[in-house]
Each structure stands twice: as C-alpha cells, then as structure tokens.
Structure 1
Amino acid sequence: MRRLTVVALCAVVALVSALVTAEVLRVRGDEAERPGLNAFYTQPDGAADGAPGTLVKSESLTGTPVGARAWRVMYRSTDLNGAPVVVTGVVVTPLGPAPAAGRTVLAWGHPTTGAAQDCAPSRGFDPFLGIEGLRFLLDRGYTVVATDYAGMGTDGPDSYLVGKTAAHSVLDAVRAARAIPEAEAGSSVLLWGHSQGGQAALFAAENAATYAPELTVDGVAVAAPAADLTALMRTHLDDISGVTIGSYAFTAYAGVYGASLPGILTPAAQDVVPRMNQLCLLSNLQELHAMGQPLVGNFTTGDPTTTPPWSDLLARNSAGAIAFRAPLLVAQGRDDELVVPADTDAFVARERGLGMDVTYEQLPGASHATIAYLAIPALLTWLDRIGH
C-alpha cells in the first residue's frame, strides 16, 4: 500500500511535468538548430536497404534519466504492404547488470502529437518526457523503446492511425533496441500505449506472432486506446476533436490507401486540412483549433462511418478483431471526453468475448490527458500480477 501511495504521488508529479510539454514543444523550432539534430534525421543513401529492425544509425543521448543511458535510433521497418520504410525513436536502458536472458523490453506507443516530421517525440528538447511511467519502468529493469512511428522524425509514409504500419514500427523498434549491445535487450516484450499509441500497441500484439515471431509478447497495457475508430469518429463528427483527428487521419488514409479526399471533405476543409497537417498538436493547439473551429459542422460531405471507402478504412484500422494470448490491461478515465468510456466499455466486452484475459481499470476523475499517468499504480500492480 505504501509503495502504491508513493507511486501515485510520483505519478502526480509526472503529470505536472507533462503540463510543461506544450512549452517544451513550442520551442522545438529553436531546438531544431541543435548541432547535428537535423543531420541525424537525414537518411543516408540506401537507408531502407536491410532487414526490418536493423539499425541505420544511432547516437548516444545526454540528459538521460538518472541511472540510465539512452540512444536516438534510426531503424528499418515496413509499411502495411511490406514495403521498406525508415523510422526513428529512442532507446533507454538502466545501468547495472542485466538478467542472463537480457532485459525485458517495454515498447511505448505515444499518443497523438501530430503527423508532420518535426512532431516526432524523439526530436523534442527532452525526448524522454512523454514516455509515461518511464522512471518506474527503468527501476524495474526494463529497456524502454519509444518509436516515433513511420512518417514522423524522418521521411516516410504517413502512418497516423494506420494500424499495421504502426504495429511494425513498434515491433521493429524492439528489434532495433536488441541491435544495441549495451541495451542488453532480450526477447521478452511488454507493450504500453496511450490513445493513438494504444491502437499501435494493440495492433502490435495482434501481429507479433506472424511479423516478429522471435519476440514473445508477455503483456499489453493501453490507456484510453483509440481502438474502435468507427466509434471514435462517430462520437466526434460534429466537434473540434473530429476536425483535428480527421485532418490527420483522412490525409493519412488518402495517401496510404489512395482514397479521394474530395470524396469526404468539403471544399472548405480541403483548403484548410493541408495546413493543419503541418502543425503539431500540443505546440500548435490554439492555432489548430482556430483553423478547425469554422469547419465544425462543415467538415465532411457525408458520414465517414457509413460512407465507403472511409467506413471500411476505419473498420480495417480498428483493433479487437484478432485475439492474442498475452494478458491485456485497459485503463479508462471516466471523465474522458475524447475516447469516451462507453466506447472503451464496448471494446473491453469484445475482447473478453474473444476469450482474452482482460483487466479493466476505470478511474473516476481521469481525463484523456491524465489517464495514462493516473493509471501508473494500476499498471505496476498488474505487472506484478503477470510476473513482470
């Protein structure tokens, strides 16, 4: 009980720290001038040539959490069709001796930060700040890896809410961590994601056995996951969240699947959406909302949840159709206005209907922004239960 109380207090401290993230991201443009930063994200010739999960390059990071070392990485992956892509991210590992079998690797899937390259968390002034629960995970001896997802950080196809591409980015990040000898990463994997990252973690779990059979996924934890995209879009058809999410998602689906944006977006939306896609969510939230608010009620020409091919694409990129053997923790804030409780309730019921081992933690008072931090005590208790 005492440990959980301390954890809860630390989680609140972490939450307060997270509130400065917007200011950190606001100065990212200046920080892009840090010596060598842009050079790292520039792909060398032949960068995509090689097996998924192999390293293109890496560099040691400074300002790491106490008792840890870290690297910025560029690694190879594949998109949903198997085409080669290059992805970036960070790897963090605690100091000290590792178990004989190597450290368990915890792969973090970050929530929406945007879709443009410079919205990648690894480009941030503090690339560790947004990894929710990092201190506690390092203290447990895990090697933590955090992908930026394809299309962020460096050149690549847009992957916003494209489930399989995100899954590959997550799983190949684990492989990339294992390619760094000092990370001492083993083959046991835990997946932890929030919102967009919850979708990525779920798709990674659903695809791990076929895509990365050398890895063993021992647990999957998600906070307010963007699991059912049809329900998510239906909930926000006529509000600013729908415009913001839609600006990122519809653009990604048009590029990846060849769907026609004029087939779903109004002329006014077609004019504004390209500019919205250049803005990062936290650092440009006010500007995004100022651009998007006039589109509320005039964003789409029809209901994308019932209009082909968009309805099919939303369903195709919704998690929960494939059972996996690892235990699943789902955390949901009862005051979440983005991923609403009823949608997560339904998702949990479907997963249980597939015969899965699901632990459902519902936190009164937690919002979409705070749920992953406030769920850290439940996450650690659950990790104890599953033997990690």
Structure 2
Amino acid sequence: MRRTVTSSVLSLVLFSASVFALPAASAEPASPNAIPGTVLNSAPLPAHLWLPGTARAHRLTYWSTSASGDRTPVTGAVFVPEGTPPAGGWPVLSWAHGTVGLGDDCAPSVAGRSERDVTYLRHWLAQGYAIAATDYSGLGTPGVHPYLVGEAAAYSVIDMVRAGRAVDADLSATWAAIGQSQGGHATLFTTRLAPAYAPELDFRGGVGTGVPSHLEYLISAAGPWLPDVSQPGLTVFVSYIMASLRATYPDAEIDSYLTELGKRVVSDAEELCYWDQRERVTGIGIGQLFSRQLTDASFFAVIRDAMEVPTIGYERPFFIAQGGVDLTVWAPLTELLASQLRANTEPATVRYYPAEDHDSTMAASLADTTPYLAALMR
C-alpha cells in the first residue's frame, strides 16, 4: 500500500465540483481469512432500480480491501443483459460512478442513478456487457467513504467483478473498467492495479471520461485567502475531500487546518449527499473553511498519497475522454497527464471532444469507446 509521503506545492486553479432498499451493511468484523470478492449477502435488486435492458439484477455486499489494507465490506449491484449469453458468459464492465456524496443514503444501489448514468450504462448493456456497479467502500457500509482515495476505489471496482461472478454464473472472467469523473479517477487506478490484484480474472483495460488529475496541487494551494466566488459546488467538492482525508489519514490532523465553521461543514459532508451538501454550503466560500494555508509539506504529502494519478506502471491499455469545455475537469490538466503518460510510453489513448462538457462527453465519446472496448474484449 502507498503510505509514503513527499513534499511540494504548485499554484491554484479554480475548478468546479463533479456530481452528480439495501440497509447499510452491519459492521461485521472481517476474519483474518476473509477473501476479497467473497459475497456476504445478496438479494434481487428492486425493479425500480434496474437499468433498461436488464434481464435480472442483484444487490450484494462483499469483502474488499480498504485504504489501510484491511478487509472492508462494500455494497454494489450487478445487471445482466437480456438475451442468451455468449460462450463463456457475458463479458463484464465494472462501472465506477461519479460523485454522489459520502453518506450511506447516497449509495447508487439504494438511491438510484442519474438519467445521464442510466443512459450511458443502458448503451453498454445493449452491447452485450453485464454491468458490475460498486458503491465504493463507506457508501452503504460502515465508515466514511474514502472519496478520491484511488487505491481503495480500485479495490472496490475489482472485487465487485469477483462478487458479481459469484452471484451470477452467466458472467465471464473477461472484464474491463469504465468510469466517469470520480469514477474515471478510480478507473485509472483500477487499470494499473487489476492485473496483479486479481490475476485469476481476465482484465483487458479501462475507459474513463472526465478523469480528474493533479488534484493534489489544486487543493494544496487553498487557504483562508481564497475569496467567495459564489460557486457552492466548489465548496462541496473540497468539503468531501477534507472529510475523506480526515477519516483515511487520522494522523494528518486535518481539523488543524479548519475553522470552526469548516469543521462543521466537513462533518456534515460525511453524511449529506451532493445536493443536500450543496444547499448546506450555499453562501460559504472555500476560504471560510480554512484557518491556515494547505501549502505545507505534510498536507501535500497526504493528499498526494491519496489522489495522485499514477503515470507509470500500466500493463493494460486505457482510454481517456476529455471534454473541451469541461469546467469540472480542465482539459489542460488532462493534457498534462497525457504528456506524462506519453513520456513514459504508457498504453494510453487520450481523445478530446472540443464542444463537450463534463456530462456530455460521456455520450459523445461512445462513438470511439464502443469499438475501442469491443476490440479489447475480443
């Protein structure tokens, strides 16, 4: 597990936030022999939560690996397409969703999915893929969701495939990862980690849209000096990151960077879904959250360890789709990531969609990502 720390800080770029019944699993202790991907319980997913084109769907809880390397329960859903499966079973796409919040009620297997996501996933079902959709650890299970902690998200995405295959015999061992925004970040970590973490599965690669990168530099440059720019989405995004870091890195003393108002906002972020948290922070600027600058080496070390997108070490190919007018994930930052990947001769395809924003890039990129995945999965 990466828990080493280093120092440095760059300049701030203002950016905007990404957005978008099974009760919370009990805090059942993991035995030392708990195997990642083992299913703890499963049941039919309620019909109102099905994706169009679904023949059957399951809601389940399974063991995965936490940010600290311990076993942790995670919830998710599996959607099986209509029709007869091909020889070997339906190939699987493990879906990594975008920002919904940190509270258990925000988990997509309970709260449902946005029209944008339903439309996108419906396309992939129609292409003959089963969808394995994790909620991520801490969403629907004990503890605070480690938002944008890349390795933890990747383990949830990978183990969702193991769990899905355990509850439905028609799922193949052949799979790929797909994700949007927060899930695009998770997809890159998944692509890097999957071959070694789950060698018994046939992992082919990943597709990410609206993939955030270099967040460690952006967030680290924040502090009390930031004016209120009347963008509550920004404040939501930052509050989720601070809540995640506070829970995942208790030794980082995150509260020492926060004002009393900031502590209250970050505590509320642990429970409130995106739109409720957005209402909570309306009229509160990012600078009001902080009692001191985040530009010290210890904070940068923590956020870098959690969120820095790897630029080397990929064994499988992956596709990044970037909107030209995406105001949540800026194209120049994606191009910086692309240049680093190219310099390291990593198997990345990066494509830009000049007229598309953070949401519309998902649909616009399908003309490219559909044949891309079909070729990987052959």
Which TM bucket (shorter chain)?
0.7 to 0.9
Which of 260, 263, 269 aligns to 2:253? It is 260
Deviates more, 1:232-241 or 1:265-274: 232-241
SS in structure 1 opposite 2:61? strand
1:357 positional shift: 2.4
1:286 CA displacement? 4.5
Does residue 146 of the first structure (1) align with residue 133 of the second (2)?
Answer: yes
Instruction: Check conservation: 2:92, 2:175, Cα contact below 8 A.
Output: yes
Q: Does 1:339 align with 2:329?
A: yes
In structure 1, the partner of 2:5 is none
Give the 3 Å change call, closer, same or farther, for CA 126–364 of structure 1 in structure 2. Answer: closer
Unaligned runs of 5+ in 2: 1-18
- Letter of the structure 2 residue corresponding to residue 219 of structure 1: G
Out of 36, 40, 46, the position equivalent to 1:56 is 40
Contact 1:87 1:156 in 2 (8 A): no
Q: Quote the offset at 1:169 in angstroms.
A: 0.6
CA spacing shift, 1:236–1:343, aligned 2, 3 Å? farther
How far 1:352 moved relative to its partner? 1.7
Question: Does residue 349 of structure 1 match 2:363?
Answer: no
- Give the root-mean-square deviation of aligned CA atoms: 2.5
Structure 1 residue 243 displacement after superposition? 2.4
Q: CA deviation at 1:367?
A: 1.6
Q: Structure 2 vs 1, CA of residues 121 and 387 (structure 1 numbering), >3 Å: closer, same or farther?
A: closer
1:83 aligns with 2:83: no
Aligned to 2:26: 43
Preserved CA contact (<8 Å) 2:323 2:354:
yes
Please give the secondary structure, in 2, of the residue aligned with 1:191.
strand
Does the 8 Å CA contact 2:61/2:74 hold for their aligned counterparts? yes
Q: Supply the AA of the counterpart residue of 1:273.
A: V
Check the 8 A contact 1:199/1:318 in 2, yes or no.
Answer: no
Counterpart residue type for residue 308 of structure 1: A
Structure 2 counterpart SS, 1:298: helix
Higher mean displacement: 252-261 or 264-273: 264-273
Distance 1:156 1:266, change over 3 A: closer
Describe the SS at the equivalent of 1:179.
helix
Mean CA deviation greater in 364-373 or 220-229: 364-373
Instruction: Return the alpha-carbon distance in structure 1 between the equivalents of residues 259 and 332 of structure 2.
Output: 30
Residues 135 and 205 (structure 1), Cα distance of their counterparts in 2 relative to 1, 3 Å cut: same
Going from structure 1 to structure 2, the CA distance change for 1:350 and 1:196 (only over 3 Å counts) comes to same
In the alignment, is the contact (CA less than 8 A) between 1:189 and 1:216 conserved in 2?
yes
Matches of 1:207 and 1:110, distance apart in 2: 18
Counterparts of 2:62 and 2:348, CA distance in 1: 32
| Alignment match of 1:323 (pick from 298, 313, 319) | 313
- Distance in structure 1 (CA, Å) of the matches to 2:115 and 2:71: 27
How far, CA to CA, are the matches of 1:234 and 1:262 in structure 2?
A: 15
* Letter of the structure 1 residue corresponding to residue 84 of structure 2: P
Are 2:312 and 1:312 aligned? no
- Matched letter for residue 208 of structure 1: A
Structure 1: give runs of 5+ residues left out of the alignment: 1-20, 23-36
Give the aligned partner of residue 290 of structure 2: 300
8 Å CA contact 2:53, 2:82 repeated in 1? no
Q: Is the 8 A contact 2:239 2:266 kept in 1?
A: yes
Where 1:297 maps in the other structure, the secondary structure is helix
Shift of 1:157: 4.3
Counterpart contact for 1:111–1:196, Cα < 8 Å: yes
SS in 2 for 1:284: helix
Shift >3 Å, 4+ stretches: 44-49, 125-129, 234-242, 384-388
Mapping of 1:127-142 within 5 angstroms? 130-131=117-118, 133-142=120-129
Q: Give the Å deviation of 1:387.
A: 5.0
- 2:199 alignment partner, SS class: coil
Aligned-pair CA distance for 1:270? 1.7
Q: Does 1:173 align with 2:160?
A: yes
Paired with 2:210 and 2:217, the residues of 1 have a C-alpha distance of 13
3-state secondary structure, aligned to 1:372? helix
Higher deviation after alignment, 268-277 or 125-134: 125-134
SS in 1 for 2:319: strand
- What is the match of residue 10 of structure 1? none
Alignment partners' CA distance in 2, 1:267 and 1:103: 52
The superposition leaves residues 257-283 of structure 1 with CA deviations (integer Å, 9 ceiling, x where unpaired) of 1121233223331232212332211x3
Q: 1:223 aligns with which of 184, 188, 209?
A: 209
Q: How many angstroms does 1:345 deviate by?
A: 0.7
Among candidates 111, 114, 121, match of residue 124 of structure 1: 111
1:279 and 2:260 equivalent?
no
**Which residue in the other structure is 2:237 paired with?**
245
**Matching residue's letter, 1:270:** K
What is the aligned-residue identity percentage? 30
Deviation at 1:321, TM superposition (A): 3.5
Task: Find the counterpart in structure 2 of residue 371 from structure 1.
Answer: 361
Q: 1:128 to 1:171 in 2, by over 3 A?
A: farther
Structure 1 position 145, deviation (Å): 0.7
Partner of 2:7: none
Q: Is the 8 A contact 2:99 2:182 kept in 1?
A: yes
| Cα distance in structure 2, aligned partners of 1:352 and 1:79 | 31
The amino acid across from 2:180 in the alignment is: H
**CA distance in structure 2 between the aligned counterparts of 1:235 and 1:131, rounded to whole angstroms:** 36
